[in-house]
Structure 1
Amino acid sequence: MTIKILCLHGYGQNKVYFRDQLNVIKSRLGGSVEFITIDAPNFIPNVKKQAIYPKYSKKAKKLLDATGMKCWWNLENNNYIGLFDNTLPYINYIIEKYGPFNGILGFSQGACLTFILNGLIESKSPLINRAQPPLNFIVLSSGFFPRDPNIGQLIPLPTKTPTLNILDKEDKVVKSEYSLFLSNLILNNNNYVFHNNGHNMPNDYESAEKKSAPNRDRTCDLGVISTTL
C-alpha cells in the first residue's frame, strides 16, 4: 500500500526548494511513501523577498527562483490574507486531483496550515473537500498555533490525529516554546524529534532521534509511520 503525504512548504519557499529539504525523510521512509509537494498559491510581498532572499545560499536561491517565493497567506494585523480566498480553495482542488491523503507534513507556516487543515477535517468543516477522510497522521516541523483569531476558533481542541512534532530548541524564527505550545493542543501527544539544524527540516534523522526523548510514543516516528494506518 502506498502512503500519500501532502507536503506544505514554509513561508517564502516553494515546492522545488521543499522537495530538496525532504530528501532525508524520503530516503528514510522508502518507496512505499508518495510525497505530493505543492506550491502555495500566493507570492510573498517584494519587501519581504528583499529581506529574506539574500540570506539563502547560492544553491537555495536557484531552487527558490524555479517558481518564486510563495506563502499560504500574508499576515496583516493578525489577519491571514489569502487563506480563505486562495489557499483553502486550492487545497480542495489538490485533494480532488491528487488525494485523498493519508497524512500531511508541513514546515513552519506550512506546519501551521497543516494544523488548521487537520482541525477542519476532524470537525468535518464545509470548508474542506469531503473527498478527504480523517487523516491517519500529521507531521509538524517548526509549527505554531495560528495568530488569526478567526482561524483559531474554527479548530476543535484538543485535536486527536496522531502527530509527530519536529523542532529545534534553538530555532531563531519559530521559537521552540511555540511548537511545544502547539503540541499541548493535541490529545495524548508526546511524539517529538529534536534536531540542531535551526529553522530547517532536520538533515540527520538518526542523530535527531537519538537526541529525542527516549520514552516518547514511537507510533508516529518516521521509521514506523505506516503503523498509524
Structure 2
Amino acid sequence: MAKPPTKPLKILMLHGFTQSGPLFRAKTRALEKNLQKAFPAGAPDAWGWWRRKGEDPANAVYDGLEAGFERVAQVLKEEGPFDGVIGFSQGGCAAAFVASLLDEGRRDAFQAWEKQGGMRYPSSLLREEEVVHPPMKFAAIYSGFKATENPLYSAFYEPKIRTPTLHFIGTMDTVVEEKRSLKLMEQFEDSKDRVVYHPGGHFLPSSQKQYVGALIGFIKEVLGRGGTNNAEENAEDMDVPF
C-alpha cells in the first residue's frame, strides 16, 4: 500500500448540469469517503457549469462559460493548488476544459485559434499575465462528453490535452451516449487503456469496490505512489484499503 501523502491531496469536483455543489457532494459522499481512506488527508471541493444555446446542437454555444471559469478560477486561487480534477456529466466536459486550460502552452493555442474564430483564453485564469494554477496532475471524468464542434472551442482540444485522465462510461447511459464519451477521450494524448466501463446508467459509481479501486489505482499511478498500469484489467484484483 502506498504511503499517505505528506501534504493534503486536493481534488476539484465539478458537478453536472442542473446540479449544485451540495447535491453533487451528497451523491459522491461514498466516493469521497473511499478516497479519504486511500489518501487520508484528501479534501474534495466544488463548482462549474454553463447553458447550451443554439438550434444546432453540433454547433451550439455555451452561454455562461466565462462565468463558470470565473468561479473555477476563484476556487483555484483561494483553495489551490489542487492535485487533480474530477467531473461528472457536464462537469466531466468542464473537467476536460480545466485540464486543458492549465496545460503548458495552452495559451499559445488559444491565441492561434482566436485568429480563426476561437474564444480568447479566459482572463480569470490569469494573474499578472501568468496562469493562476499549475497543470493538473490527473483528471477523472465520469459520463463526460466533448464540447460542440463550434470553432469557438477548438483550442481546448488542439493540440490534445496532456493531463493523464481516466474515463468512466456507463454501458446503460442514455443521457450521455458512449460515443460522446469516447469522443472526449480521444482528445487526450494518453487515451489508450484509460477507460473503465460500469454496467449502469447516468450516475457516478462511488461505492462499488472495483470502480473506486480503479480510480485509486490510477491516482496512485500518476502520482508515483504505486498502482497498476491498466485500470480496466486490474481493478477487481486491486488491494484497496476498504
TM-score grouping bracket, smaller chain normalisation: 0.7 to 0.9
Coordinate RMSD, CA, aligned: 2.0
Q: 3-state DSSP class of the match of 2:148?
A: coil
Distance 1:224 1:12, change over 3 A: same
For structure 1, the residue ranges without an aligned partner over 5 or more in a row are 41-71, 211-217
Count of residue pairs brought into register by the alignment: 187
How far 1:169 sits from its partner (Å)?
Answer: 1.5
Structure-to-structure mapping, 1:44-193, within 5 angstroms:
72-77=49-54, 78-84=60-66, 86-122=67-103, 123-125=105-107, 126-127=121-122, 128-129=125-126, 130-147=131-148, 149-155=150-156, 156-189=158-191, 190-193=193-196
Work out the CA distance in 2 between the residues paired with 1:208 and 1:200. Answer: 12
How far 1:182 sits from its partner (Å)?
Answer: 1.2
How far 1:117 sits from its partner (Å)?
Answer: 1.5
Q: 3-state DSSP class of the match of 2:167?
A: strand
Structure 1 range deviating more: 120-129 or 96-105: 120-129
Work out the CA distance in 1 between the residues paired with 2:203 and 2:82. Answer: 24
Q: 3-state DSSP class of the match of 1:194?
A: strand
For structure 2, the residue ranges without an aligned partner over 5 or more in a row are 1-6, 55-59, 108-120, 224-242
Say if 1:24 and 1:205, in contact at 8 Å, map to a contact too. Answer: no
Work out the CA distance in 2 between the residues paired with 1:152 and 1:224. Answer: 28
Deviations 1:93-148 (A, max 9, x none): 11111112111111110010111111111134352242210110001100100016
Say if 2:31 and 2:207, in contact at 8 Å, map to a contact too. Answer: no
Q: 3-state DSSP class of the match of 1:200?
A: coil
Say if 2:171 and 2:200, in contact at 8 Å, map to a contact too. Answer: no
Distance 1:27 1:73, change over 3 A: same
Deviations 1:152-208 (A, max 9, x none): 312233211110101101101000111112112211222222223311111443244
Work out the CA distance in 1 between the residues paired with 2:14 and 2:75. Answer: 12
TM-score by length of 1: 0.74
Work out the CA distance in 2 between the residues paired with 1:5 and 1:206. Answer: 20
Distance 1:205 1:160, change over 3 A: farther
Instruction: Report the identity percentage.
Output: 27
Work out the CA distance in 2 between the residues paired with 1:204 and 1:112. Answer: 23
